[in-house]
Structure 1
Amino acid sequence: MSMEKTKVKTLLEACLVVLIIVIISELIGIIKFAVGPGTVTLLPMLFAVILGILCAPSLLGKIIKPMKKIVNEDVIEFSGSVVVIALLPLGVKYGTLVGPNIVKIIQAGPALLLQELGNIGTIFIGLPIALLLGMKREAVGAAVSICREPTLGVVSEKYGINSPEGTGVLGTYMMGTVFGTIFFGLLGSLSVGTGLHPYALAMASGMGSASMMTAASSSLAAAAPAEMSDTILAYAATSNMLTGVTGLYVVIFISLPLINKLYDVLEPRIGKKKEES
């Protein structure tokens, strides 16, 4: 019984913290300002992520002592396990946008399917940088893709989560979880100023992460013309869904063999030598 009471207490504390963060974020509202040719749109979700990070006991807890009692390790562990559940209503909401725009989605043709190949770009950009920073086999896991759940599962199954490759993929996964929403929220609004079509940018927003896709597509929809809003969200939701399906096979059959081959070529040339003890 004491265990059940502890779980209920943890749930109530987590809900209280979330409620406070939501209220503060909504009170701040949407903030827009011009940066060069584009407009940066800061959505309440961005402020919610920042406030959530600040609530960590190691940060805000040092300043506001009562926060350590509310946001303790139990609350943090519980919150991490319910993130996927919390995102399900969001997925349903975006799913309802796909149906009314199905004709436009079909007209997009193979573009939505082929956009997954764009994730291979992480290999050619991320792997050399990782090797220059001194990473070894960790670079394979870290740079094989944007490293969301399908990639995490594939690398963990092939190499083991405690392997160097597993450490790399888990590191990228955690960085995406903490900073991905902030980064893509800013990128979504700034990308309008590049001159690329908003629908193409909407497809690019579907990178296999519900939170990142939501941040990117929402800020993109807010910065683009109002009549494009629903179509942008529909393209992003469909792209995200297809990435979750096709991304698994791209990682298995294309990305992993490619990055291993490229690692063998680049590591002897640009990799840092480990110092002898």
Structure 2
Amino acid sequence: MKKNKSQQNDFQSFLKLFLSVLVIVLATEVFGTKTFNIGPGQVVLLPMLFAVIIGIAVTPKLLGSKIKALKRVISMQEVEKAGTYVMIALLPLGVKYGTLVGPNIVEVVKAGPAFLLQELGNLATIFMALPLALALGMKREAVGATASISREPTLGVIGEKYGISSPEGTGVLGTYLMGTVFGTIFFGLLGGYSVATGIHPLALAMASGMGSGSMMASASGALAEAVPGMKDQILAYAATSNMLTGVTGLYSVIFLGLPLVNFMYDKLIPFFSKDDRGDQNES
């Protein structure tokens, strides 16, 4: 009897979450994509950004605590279960990245070392961001947050290995959300203003493809506006780079990023925490 009641509660929570997500998706699709220029930079606000903001706003900690109707639909029980469903929602994305490998293997090989090796640049987050995260008081959360740039492939790998509710999962999910909220704005401005550095526009276009469709579109769109004579080439290089990053990024995180960030964590944590032994048991 207790088991049946528990199952019924789980189903009700799932139904509430499903309907809530459906409403948020429909609302954000109505908003659509908003684009505006700031100097040579371009800011692209995608529906996903609005979805994140609405999702945060309706939680019990914010509007959900003031609006009774929302409180009945989205309680802390739903919030706690949402983390589990994140991994289920990521499964189709994992399949998509898997199907990119076979059909595009020839293009990957033809792309040359510049495209293939650019994924190693994401590993710089380990050397730059990990010490800063530890200095700010993060523990194992820093592993998830700095293993790569925390986009969809990293989110899937960390969630599968440690669980999305683990400290590592919290780190990668938090960074992912921050990237969603601020990343498109940052890269939109960076794409336009980066032309002033004197770096070749095609190199900047390749750098735009960091494994995030929204960030790539924002950065390459601003770059194309700044160098209109190379617009088609810029967009083609950015799209190819983003596709290859999606293919190679998954394996880079698994075979390079995670082993390296755990190694660096074990070496650095004694300098930032007295209780370093207890934090190393998951590495």
Structure 2-normalised TM-score?
A: 0.69
1:57 maps to amino acid: P
Give the match for residue 213 of structure 2: 214
The corresponding residue for 2:252 is 246
- Tell me, in whole angstroms, the C-alpha distance in 1 between the residues paired with 2:39 and 2:177: 27
For 1:179, the equivalent position in structure 2 comes to 178
Give the distance between the partners of 1:14 and 1:222, measured in 2 at CA: 35
Conserved? CA contact 2:98–2:247, under 8 Å? no
Q: Tell me, yes or no, if structure 1 residue 125 matches structure 2 residue 128.
A: yes
**Using the alignment, how far apart are the partners of 2:99 and 2:140 within structure 1?**
40
Asked if the contact 2:191–2:220 (Cα under 8 Å) also holds between the matched residues in 1, the reply is: no
Counterparts of 1:106 and 1:116, CA distance in 2: 14
Deviations 1:125-149 (A, max 9, x none): 224434554x386697367523645
Gap change, CA 1:140 and 1:221, over 3 Å in 2: closer
Measured at CA, do residues 189 and 71 of structure 1 come closer, stay the same or move farther in structure 2, by a change above 3 Å? same
Deviates further, 238-247 or 171-180:
171-180
Q: Deviations over 1:161-185 (max 9, x none)?
A: 9xxxx85x45532421432321322
Q: In the alignment, which residue of structure 2 is the partner of 1:43?
A: 46
**Partner SS state of residue 58, structure 1:** coil
d(CA) in 2 for partners of 1:258, 1:98: 30
Q: Does 1:141 align with 2:116?
A: no
Alpha-carbon distance between aligned partners in 1 of 2:84 and 2:10, rounded to the nearest angstrom: 13
Q: Do the aligned partners of residues 124 and 63 (structure 1) sit closer, same or farther apart at CA in structure 2, a change above 3 Å counting?
A: same
Q: What amino acid is the match of 2:175?
A: G
Letter in 1 for 2:246: N
The residue type paired with residue 58 of structure 1 is K
Deviates more, 1:8-17 or 1:121-130: 121-130
Say if 1:127 and 1:139, in contact at 8 Å, map to a contact too: no
2:81 is aligned, of 70, 75, 78, to: 78
Matched, 1:190 2:196: no
Q: 2:206 aligns with which of 181, 194, 200?
A: 200
Unaligned runs of 5+ in 2: 196-200, 225-230, 276-283
CA shift digits 1:203-258 (9 cap, x unpaired): 3x22xxxxxx2332343465565856576445324312312112222135544445
1:28·1:44 contact (CA, 8 Å) conserved in 2?
Answer: yes
Structure 1 distance, partners of 2:6, 2:219, is 45
* 8 A contact 2:147–2:258 mirrored in 1: no
Could you tell me which residue of structure 1 aligns to residue 66 of structure 2?
A: 63
**In the alignment, structure 1 residue 110 sits paired with structure 2 residue 113:** yes
**In the alignment, residue 19 of structure 1 is paired with which amino acid?**
L
Q: Report the Cα distance in structure 2 between the residues aligned to 1:139 and 1:10, rounded to whole angstroms.
A: 27
Number of the residue aligned with 1:2: 5
Question: In structure 1, how many angstroms separate the alpha carbons of the residues matched to 2:119 and 2:23?
Answer: 37
Choose from 11, 24, 27 the match for 1:24.
Answer: 27
Query: Given that residues 115 and 206 in structure 2 are in contact (C-alpha distance below 8 angstroms), is that contact kept between their aligned partners in structure 1?
Result: no
Q: CA deviation at 1:90?
A: 5.0
Whether contact under 8 Å (1:98, 1:235) holds in the other structure is: no
**Residue number in structure 1 paired with 2:241:** 235
Structure 2 CA distance for partners of 1:23 and 1:139, relative to 1, 3 Å? closer
CA deviation after TM superposition for structure 1 residue 52, in Å: 0.8
Report if aligned partners of 1:41, 1:223 keep a CA contact under 8 Å in 2.
no
Percent pairwise identity: 34
Post-superposition Cα deviations, 1:35-74, rounded to whole Å, max 9, x if no partner, equal 2321001011110111111111111112212111101233
* 3-state secondary structure, aligned to 1:110: helix
Q: Deviations over 1:78-101 (max 9, x none)?
A: 332222333444566677778887
